[in-house]
Amino acid sequence: MTMVAGQEQGQELPERWSAKAKTEVVLRLLRWEAVEAVSREIEVWALEVEAWRRVFLGGGRASLKRRGGDPGDRAVKQAQPKVESSR
């Protein structure tokens, strides 16, 4: 049986799940563990566990879409060589 962060044999499951613990659950799903089995083990509705996975993957997708962070910073980096060459 796979344990979640902070959970040992016989220890009660948390009422609220930390981001770290949710991430560990999602990683189990990404390793092809069955949602139903994980859900039953951690005593959280499968729909909620699926929602954790969607949020996790959505955040990852958004992070990959970002190009170099703040658009203002990008504009400064692009303008910097032009300013330096005009000196």
pLDDT tier, 6 (very low <50, low <70, confident <90, very high otherwise): very low
- Give the model confidence (pLDDT) of 54-67 as tens digits: 999 999 888 887 76
- What mean pLDDT, rounded, does the chain reach? 82
> Are 38 and 29 contacting, i.e. CB atoms less than 8 angstroms apart?
yes
Please state, in angstroms and rounded to a whole number, the distance separating the CA atoms of residues 76 and 79: 5
On the question of pLDDT at 37 being above 80, the answer is yes
Per-residue pLDDT, 75: 73
- pLDDT band with cut points at 50, 70 and 90 for residue 29: very high
pTM of the model: 0.61
